[in-house]
Amino acid sequence: MSVTERRRVSARRASLLGDQPGSFAVARFVRVTPMKARRVVDMVRGAQVDDALATLRFAPQAAAQTVYKLLESAVSNATTTESLERGTLVVSKARVDEGPMLKRFRPR
């Protein structure tokens, strides 16, 4: 990781977390509609990590698999970089934004 990239990550971490211990993970360009993904994220926001992962594992929505992998990544980041215990982690913030629109055309 270059020095510039390390500074960018540390600035992003400071803007998202502030001085609080924790970690974050970002999934970009996911092929799921934001409205459907928000339904899944709303189920786990504010829950303990183990409860959230169990909820996502058995959720019938297609976006649950993507959110599950993302949450696993955030937990892994917290345990390796911040040395936090997995049992004490809580999903404090979760956000779903829109990505770029797909360009479609109709051949004639």
HSE of 60, CA atoms in CB hemisphere, 13 A: 0
Global confidence as pTM: 0.81
Top CATH class of 3-88 equals alpha beta
Tell me how far apart the alpha carbons of residues 48 and 46 are, in angstroms, rounded to a whole number.
Answer: 7
CB distance 15 to 56 below 8 Å: no
Q: Give residue-wise pLDDT tens across range 50-83.
A: 999 999 999 999 999 999 999 999 999 899 988 8
Confidence of residue 17 (pLDDT cuts 50, 70, 90): low
Query: Does residue 101 surpass a pLDDT of 70?
Result: yes
Domain boundaries, the chain: 3-88
DSSP per-residue string spanning 80-98: HHS---GGG-B--------
Comparing 60 with 13, which gets the higher pLDDT? 60
Q: Give residue-wise pLDDT tens across range 19-36.
A: 676 788 889 899 999 999
